[in-house]
Amino acid sequence: MSIKIKALSKSPWVFHVSAASCNNCDIEILDCFTPRFDVERFGVQLIGSVRHADALVVTGVINKKTIPLVKKVYEQASKPCLVIAVGTCSCSQHMFRFGYNVIEPLDKILPVSVYIPGCPPKPEAIILGIVKALGTLKKK
């Protein structure tokens, strides 16, 4: 295990990218940081700058206006960087698949490590997803 991955798997700092979401997944992600779930106990922290991020949490479908922005955010993140797709929208475009403004699923644009389906996924599911993502890192 390289030192980079070892450091990454200890306390991942996540940056929240909301592509074109309905706010539900975003709220559930924020909910993970509030007293009932409180993932900060485990060293997971929501951060303000993408340059410090170990993981990108992407919610919502990708539309024409956000596609260059999401790419840019990923380019700015320091590598290795996990991409976690939260919600059915970012996993499989949900019911917006045939929308005129919606073009590609997220995994055609970024290398997605974990898919967390649900509309919205419960905070427990999001935490489980992040734990699984870290588990795959440790196997490497």
Binding residues vs another protein (CB under 8 A): 16-31, 34-36, 46-48, 50, 60-61, 63, 65-66, 69, 73, 94-96, 98-102, 119-120, 122
In the complex with another protein, the residue whose CB is nearer, 70 or 114, is: 70
In the complex with another protein, the residue whose CB is nearer, 53 or 137, is: 53
**Distance spanning both ends of the chain, measured CA to CA:** 6
Residue 66 CB, nearest distance to another protein (Å)?
Answer: 5
Residue 138 CB, nearest distance to another protein (Å)?
Answer: 29
Query: What string of DSSP letters covers 37-99?
Result: T-GGGGT-EE-S-GGG-SEEEEESB-BTTTHHHHHHHHHHSPSS-EEEEESHHHHH-GGGTT-
Residue 135 CB, nearest distance to another protein (Å)?
Answer: 26
In the complex with another protein, the residue whose CB is nearer, 9 or 93, is: 93
Residue 20 CB, nearest distance to another protein (Å)?
Answer: 5
In the complex with another protein, the residue whose CB is nearer, 120 or 130, is: 120
Pairing of strands 55-59, 13-18: parallel
Q: Other C-beta atoms within 10 Å of 13: how many?
A: 15
Residue 37 CB, nearest distance to another protein (Å)?
Answer: 9
In the complex with another protein, the residue whose CB is nearer, 49 or 136, is: 49
How far, in Å, CA of 58 to CA of 86, rounded?
A: 6
Map tokens 């993140």 to a residue.
77
105 upstream amide cis, omega within 30 of 0: no
